[in-house]
Amino acid sequence: MSIRENFVVPKRYNTVALALMAVGILAIIGLYVTSGSKADPHESARFWASLLQNSVFFLLVVNASMFFICATTLAWGGWQMAFRRVPEAISAVVPVIGVIAGAILLAIAFGDNHTIFHWTDSHHVAEDPILNHKKGFLNKGFFAGATVLTIVLWSFLGWKMRQLSRSLDAKPLATVAERKKYIWNNTVWAALFIVVFSLTVMSSIPWLWLMSIDAHWYSTMYSWYTFASTFVSGMALIALFVVFLKNNGYLEYTNNEHLHDIGKFMFAFSVFWTYLWFSQFMLIWYANIPEETIYFQPRAHGIYKGIFWLMFIINFIAPLLILMTRDAKRNYGTITFMAILIIFGHWLDFYQMVFPAVSPEKVPMILYDFGVALGFVGLIMFVTGRALSKAPLLAKNHPFVKESLIHHT
Amino acid sequence: MAVKKFVVGNFDDEAVLFPAVKKVRRAGYKIHDVFTPFPIHGLDKAMGLRDTSLHTAGFIYGISGTATAVGFITWALTVDWQINFGGKPFFSLPAWIPVTFELTVLFASVGMVLTFCYLCQLAPFVKKDHFNTRSTDDTFVMALECTDKTNEAEALGFLETVGAKEVKVEYRETEWWIGRYDKEKKLFHKEN
């Protein structure tokens, strides 16, 4: 087979993506009819909570791709060059889902329904000493500003990184000095992204977007834990696209060695996620202070028990045992299966972050949420496919390409 | 203790060594071992060595660490010496996870280091024969084991054709021993 440098979106791929998006829209309509349109604020909150959970989860997952690129760039890593265009293309989804998620978040914060973010209700906050103390951080103005700024910065810096990468396709770097300058330039922009990323996903934004649903409760590990969750799902998503492209005869320079390393990321960050998840749990369990344990009461012991432990099995025990061996990480089937399982598991993780506070009496019918999730999956497929087809799949003029071609684990 | 006869080729470049290993194997010679100053990725594959079972051993050590920790703490705190910690049940798994984790890592790491040393025959006072001491510096040494049927002249010539800078027939001890290097053998004399 000749070298297929450019990805041509297969018709069937787009059909599937559009069908999934249609399912998503149907699910949103169904959700709106069954709960969103109800006058009872608790009923309609369920609609918004589903949109919040899905949009934030998938936004953070696609953004993890750009984090992967920037982290490897800063580490002067070369091994990912063979498939680097894949995470680049995935990160092109950030502005799209960013607009959706931003709109949903602002709609929830500025809407009349205060069930999800009950700190938005000024009468309630005035009577509540805890929320009153948190007013400096948990207020609508700060929320809106931080949300918009975050999404704009992610989109802009991601776009800049993609531009830098694509600028090489037209003009090769002839001299060593030019290459050094390019690497330096790349490093500076990657460092900027990492700084923004660590000030947002890794430290503050999940507090605003997710933790403030349980506004009384707090955990300083929450953001870092959310980051671990989305980063491992992001690596799983990259693995899925790499396997998909390999199976369709693209990415011929990406081989088992690269897949092995992606598998290592999935394995290692599953364990890392468990470490954070457990650390957050154990400190609260040990201290046994009611204002803290209230978070785990509905999740680990209440009606969300099943989802809580299912998620633990999917996100920790399954990757630990299945991805441990070398052969498993080099097997397309195992990697595909585990990648789907991991994304699903962390989606469940986000589900149990959002819903116990919104719907404490009964576990909402989860099928609609699957539908909404499928809609986002379709959107990611569609936009990533478009982005993949726009540039050659191998950034062949990048100074580090050789390192990736001879990569060996 | 078994002193054997070897045909030894010294290479000065791993880019030459790699194809040489493949050619030597294809020609039917049995490679005793290749000694390099630094680890070379893929050389084990080229030499046809099987994958190490060190990680399987590590898994078993890790599991035994987990079992030891959980088993011992369970016995100590629920059977032998029950203590009430802040009203928590005697069997409180979350509190034991850190210790279990640490013991798992400890068993796996110490066990793997010791197994590695055993497999490589590395230990204090253990001595092994060297083909060429420059294999710790800048020379890549390939040793072919000779049998009764080996035509040494042919093997020496073949090693030279695949790029060895220096070839010779040498007798070397293959096992390890405890004690001193035999001074009479002058193993460390400077090669001219």
Residue pointed to by tokens 């007013």: A135
Query: Is residue A3 one of the residues assigned to a domain?
Result: no
Torsion angle defined by CA atoms of residues A38, A40, A42 and A48, in that order, rounded to the nearest 10 degrees: 30
pLDDT means over runs of 10, chain A (409 residues): 75 95 95 88 90 96 96 93 94 96 95 89 89 90 95 96 91 89 94 95 92 91 94 96 93 91 95 94 91 91 92 95 92 96 96 90 86 96 94 89 87
Q: For position A406, what pLDDT does the model report?
A: 87
* Residue A72 host element (H or E): helix A41-74
By Cβ distance, the residue of A278, A282, A288 closest to B86 is A288
Report if residue A117 sits inside a domain: yes
The mean-pLDDT minimum among A373-377, B38-42, B104-108, B112-116 falls in B38-42
Which residues, at least 6 apart from A101, have a Cβ–Cβ distance to it below 8 Å?
A55, A56, A59, A151
Domain that holds residue A26: 11-405
Tokens of A332: 């397309």
**Adjacency order of strands within the sheet including B3-11:** B31-35, B140-145, B3-11, B166-173
User: Six-digit token pair at A38?
Assistant: 């109800």
C-alpha to C-alpha distance for B46 and A286, rounded to whole angstroms = 54
Structure-block tokens of residue A373: 């999730």
For B21-59, the pLDDT digits (tens) are 999 999 888 888 899 999 888 888 889 888 888 999 999
Residue owning tokens 């093997």:
B155
Is B28 touching A (CB cutoff 8 A)? no
Domain count, chain A: 1
- Is A4 a domain residue? no
- Put simply, whether A286 touches B (Cβ < 8 Å) is yes
- ipTM of this complex: 0.80
Residue B55 with chain A: CB contacts under 8 Å: 325-326
In a domain, A6, yes or no: no
pLDDT tens-digit map of B177-191: 777 766 445 444 445
Q: Which domains does chain B have, with CATH numbers?
A: 3-50+128-185 (3.30.70), 54-120 (no CATH)
pLDDT tens digit sequence for A94-143: 999 999 999 999 999 998 888 899 899 888 888 999 999 998 889 999 99
Please say whether the beta carbons of A157 and A189 come within 8 A.
Answer: yes
* Phi/psi of residue A69, nearest 5 degrees: -60, -45
CB-based contact A282 B55, cutoff 8 Å: no
Find the residue in B nearest to A287 (Cα): B86
- Partner-chain contact A286 B95, CB within 8 Å: yes
